[in-house]
Amino acid sequence: MDAVSVLPALRGLMAKGNALPRLMRVDARGGEPVIALPDGCAEVVAAIRAQLPAGAECATLTGIGTYRAVFDAPTGRASGKVAVVTGAAQGFGFEIAADLAKQGAYVALADINAEGVNAAAEKINASCGRAAACGVSVNVADAGSVRDALGQVVAAFGGVDMLVANAGVLRAGSVKDLPEKDLDFVTSVNYKGYFLCVQAAAPIMALQHAAASEVWFDIIQINSKSGLVGSNKNGAYAGSKFGGIGLTQSFAMELVEDGIKVNAICPGNFYDGPLWADPEKGLFRQYLDSGKVPGAKTFEDVKRFYESKVPMRRGCTTPDVMKAVYYLMEQTYETGQAVPVTGGQVMLA
């Protein structure tokens, strides 16, 4: 048995009410219960429950290690939760991770940029004054990489309470001449990557729920307003985001039996982040070069064009998105939804 198949069950069985502990690896002292699980054990929760004394907060798992349950005092809206945020080296992903940590969560920042994501985690830890974050290298479009990354998170914290599937890319262009490689790139990250992250995270959450049936978990995709309405000369991106909402609804129907809520947030344009503002690869550059905004000569022309379409007359910000994140976490009677955060640019009937 490996840590990913065992630690979430142990974590759930050590829960106190609705609170799951963070599991910390410690040196064995000799007095804690020793739990042995044979290879191929089909009923991990039942096997651990049979060997774990009531109220035990430390246990040795044969072949895996000794772990102690740590319960943190409430400090915010995400106190004690273990969250994974993909695409977290910069932009929305980093700011979402930072806010979750500020609200008491333990956050694994996952990104293909290994150096950048480790630096981002260190920045969050310095800001919080505690070891709230760790960096994990991952290619969300590769199933093995995703499994390895989630394994690192489980080894560090004992399980996963929340997945924020934020990783996303964009290649703007007309359907008449967009290179096939750009379509494949966008689809592999935005659609396939979301699928693979849920595929890896859901069994971990399901194991925790099997051990602590009163506790629910959250998967939230950071989608886009382009997942709600089409986007001119941006079909690859919009198509991948529409597909993401299809996955969200389908996952929600399937995973509800495992205590997992699955929802999406569809933000409007985040003009200050690198997706838009990067001078070489950002959307201001792509839209200017592709002629998507008629008559635009500068980045500022492109920005004004898009701001004019928003009733609130501004772009989306991280605080706007976090209000939706915390709503989805805290509500107990909704799943499969795509929540717009667009300043009124997209209004649902």
Cβ contacts of 117 within 8 Å, gap of 6 or more: 88, 89, 109, 110, 111, 135, 136, 137
Based on the domain organization, do 94 and 61 belong to the same domain? no
> For position 286, what pLDDT does the model report?
83
> For position 158, what pLDDT does the model report?
98
Domain-terminating residue out of 22, 42, 70 = 70
Secondary structure (3-state) at 63? coil
Identify which has the larger pLDDT, 320 or 41: 320
For residues 262-283, give the mean pLDDT.
Answer: 88
Based on the domain organization, do 9 and 88 belong to the same domain? no
Based on the domain organization, do 165 and 19 belong to the same domain? no
Based on the domain organization, do 64 and 102 belong to the same domain? no
Based on the domain organization, do 58 and 94 belong to the same domain? no
Based on the domain organization, do 99 and 24 belong to the same domain? no
> For position 42, what pLDDT does the model report?
80
For residues 320-326, give the mean pLDDT.
Answer: 98
For residues 156-160, give the mean pLDDT.
Answer: 98
Domain-terminating residue out of 50, 70, 90 = 70
Residues 175-197: tens digit of each pLDDT: 999 999 999 999 999 999 999 99
Q: Distance (Å, rounded) from C-alpha 80 to C-alpha 343?
A: 32
91 lies in a domain?
Answer: yes
Based on the domain organization, do 59 and 160 belong to the same domain? no
Q: Which domain holds residue 141?
A: 82-268+316-341
Give me the number of domains the chain comprises.
Answer: 2
Give the N- to C-terminal CA distance of the chain in Å, as an integer: 50
21 lies in a domain?
Answer: yes
For residues 245-254, give the mean pLDDT.
Answer: 98
Catalytic residue among 106, 237, 271, 287: 237
Please, what sign has the CA dihedral across residues 250, 253, 258, 259? positive
237 included as an active-site residue: yes
CATH of the domain at 186: 3.40.50.720
pLDDT averaged over every residue in the chain: 95
